[in-house]
Every structure is written in structure tokens, then in C-alpha cells.
Amino acid sequence: MTQRQPLVIGPLAAAPGTRATGLVPVHLGEGIVVSLPVVVISGAQPGPRVAVTAGIHGAEYVSIAALRQVALSLDPKDVHGELVAVLTASPLAFAARAIYVNPVDGRNLNRQFPGDPAGSPTQRLARWLTDNVIAGSDVFVDMHCGDMNEALVSFTGIEDTGDAAVDARSRELADAYGLRYLLIGPSPGTTTTAAATLGIPAVLAEVGGQGRWPADDVALHAAGFRRLLHAAGLLTNAADEPEAPRFATEVLPTEAWMRSTTTGYWHPAVDVGQRVTRGTVVGEVQDAFGAVLERPEAPIDGVVIFLVSSLAMNQGDPLLALAG
């Protein structure tokens, strides 16, 4: 039998049956170096490699808290295979409490994949994550939640790659996560698209938002991720299967993002999780004195998947997303 080699990510190395934790430096050009908190576990038994990120958007706290909880609690002796977990993938955005973008260059990290090793700092970070975390894995998971200014109903998302085996495996893993809705479709520039391009089954998972990390949301996200680890084969002990709530997932194949055409004060007229019909006025953007600047209408029948919950609204910012 071939001797298994240590799992190495940057300066971290975990021999079979052990865990390594620490900060992994990533050079982003322009004299910028970020330190990514990473956990690597090499299980006592051989098996698949699962890679996972949280905090791709720095203010998405439920995902960060849930991944930390699971990755730091796993016992390597119970693990079959390897886990590479990036606990906070955009540390500069996390430190700045920044929504959507990396404050260094104003780019949304989850629109830059697979990245560019000679590009802007955010593009370089995306490339490093693609090459060192996503590539080489058998399963990839990207844990998210609504950003600091977003309310959200829990859902998973997978790509429609056209590879029947990859798509079936992604669907199986998303079903195991057990969240309320499943969205299927392309997401250009995202982690899951980068994984799909590499032929790797991948799942996006979203729970919670609004800059909070209540225990119930963290538990729901963590339980879903643990169920996915069971489905992936990384965990095999039935006693470790969490009993936290699990939904009979409803598939919503069509997605529509609505963005503001003006800058002003956002007054939504719908709630997250609400079903609306095409043509429904979903709210108003007003000026400082209450004059209506726009009354956006739903472009499709669907469920409000996420909703911006801040009063401040800028031209081009998301208002909400529908899926149906």
C-alpha cells in the first residue's frame, strides 16, 4: 500500500490522522499580503478531499461562525479523507466590515473567479483560492449568508454544467445540506463556476444575514455542512449525523436579481421568503424628501430569496433577488 503523504497548504502540513491550523500568507501584489486562517485535516483513513470556504464576503458572519464550529470540532481519527477549510477567505473585507467588496480595490471577490495571478489584489486572491483550495478537491463547498445589509431565506445553489455525473453529485450534496430552497443555474465569476470548470461537484450554501450570527442560524448552517460531509464520505459514523432541522428542499430553477436605477432611500413592500407575482411592486426608492424615484416591479413570479434591508440605496446596488 502506498504511504499517504501529508496534506500541505502553504506552511501548514497535516500528516494522516492529524490536524494543522494557522495563517497562510497570500501575496496580492502592490506590497499587500493577507493572512488566511486555514484548517487542514488529514483523516486517519483514506477518502475524498473536501475543500470549503467561508467569508468570501467579509461581513457574512453566520457562514464564518458555522465553518469555524465544524472545522475546529472534527476529530481527525473520525475523518476519512482530507478537509481544507478557509475560515475567512477575505480577511481585509472582514476587518473593514465591508459589504460586497474587498476594500483594497473595490472588487467583489465572488465575481472574480477563477482569478488572475497578474491582476488586481482581489483577482490574485481568487486565483490563489482556485489553485490552492478548489483545484485538487473532490467536493467544494462555499458557505455564505446574506451580507450585513441583507435578509435571506436559506438556500443552496449548484451549477448546471452539462456533465451529468458532476451535476448529479452536486444535487446529491445540496440535498444533503437540507436547506429550504435549491437554485440551479450558472453564476459567472463565482467559486462554484470555477469548481464546475474543473469538473468538481460544488455547492453554495446560504443561511442568515444582516450582520448577525444567532445560534439557531449557525446551528442550521453547521448541521447542513456536517450532513454534506457525510454524503461526501468524509464522515461515516451515523452517530455524528446531526439532528438539526432539515427541509424538504424545493427547486427554484429561475433566478432574477433586481437592482436600483437610482440613489436614495429604499422602502421594500415585500418580505424575504414571500411569494410574489410578475408585475408586483416590490417597494419604492425615494429621495431625501419622500418623493418617489422608482417603483420597481417583479420581473417574474417567484420567492424573495434575499432582500436588502438597509434604508440607504445606491444606483446599481441590489434591491432583492427572486427565484421561481
Which residue stretches of 60-213 are H helix? 61-73, 91-96, 121-129, 164-177, 191-197
At residue 314, the pLDDT reads 97
In this prediction, residues 56-78 reach a mean pLDDT of 98
- Considering the chain, tell me which residue range(s) the CATH 2.40.50.100 domain(s) occupy: 255-323
**pLDDT on residue 213:** 97
Enumerate the CATH 3.40.630.10 domain ranges in the chain, comma separated: 11-251
**Residues written for the chain:** 324
The CATH number of 255-323 is: 2.40.50.100
Reply yes or no on whether the pLDDT at 239 is more than 60. no
E strand map for the chain:
7-9, 12-14, 18-27, 33-42, 45-54, 80-86, 139-144, 150-152, 155-158, 181-184, 202-206, 250-252, 255-259, 264-268, 275-276, 283-286, 292-294, 302-308, 312-313, 318-323
Averaged pLDDT, 71-93: 98
The closest alpha carbon to 53, from 63, 44, 42, 43, belongs to 63
Q: Locate cell 485538487: which residue?
A: 136
* Residue 44: predicted pLDDT: 97
Task: Please give the Cα distance from 178 to 191 (Å, whole number).
Answer: 20
124: three-class secondary structure by DSSP: helix
Torsion sign (Cα): 177, 182, 185, 187: negative
The overall pTM is greater than 0.75: yes
Q: Return phi, psi of residue 91, to 5°.
A: -60, -30
11-251 folds as Aminopeptidase (3.40.630)
Q: What is the pLDDT at residue 240? A: 60
